[in-house]
Amino acid sequence: MTDLSQQPWFDDTEWLTVPDLVEMLGLSVSRVHRLFEDHVLISTRVDGVVVTPAVFLVDGEPMHELRGTATVLADNGFTDDEALDWMLSVEDSLGVSPVQALRAGRKAEVRRVAQSLL
């Protein structure tokens, strides 16, 4: 199990709770949980509270590019915590974190790197 609180990016990450997402997205609690199940967003528990990084939202909506990448990682056996760690850590082959690369429009490159992970 990955201890995300020990990662260098952890303290600099803005976390959104399920109630935050309900308010921001205008969805029910069950629909927000469905976003996690469907890999539209990736969540973890911090001090017992389910949270997701705010950087996964763009213009008040889940980042569209995240879903396919999260699915690739899940298909490669990554847990949600491992996927979060990879998405938020600087990836040497990309020169930035995968989420930064996705936000910059580099979806194909990020997915190629994600597919190469075992």
Q: Which DSSP string do the residues of 34-68 spell out, in sequence order? A: HHHHTTSS--EEETTEEEEEGGGEETTEE-HHHHH
* pLDDT surpasses 90 at 8: no
Angstrom distance (rounded) from CA 113 to CA 30: 32
pLDDT at 118: 66
Burial class (CB within 10 angstroms; exposed 0-12, middle 13-18, buried 19+) of 15: middle
> Residues with Cβ < 8 Å from 108, sequence gap 6 or more?
none
Q: Which residues contact residue 40 at a Cβ distance below 8 angstroms, ignoring those fewer than 6 apart?
A: 62, 66, 67, 70
Complete DSSP assignment for 89-116: SPBTTTTB-HHHHHHTT-HHHHHHHHHH
Q: Fill in the amino acid letter for 76.
A: N
pLDDT at 5: 79
Quick one: pLDDT at residue 1? 52
Question: What per-residue confidence (pLDDT) applies to 117?
Answer: 87
pLDDT digits (tens, 9 = 90+) for 44-103: 998 899 999 999 999 999 999 999 999 999 999 999 999 999 999 999 999 999 999 999
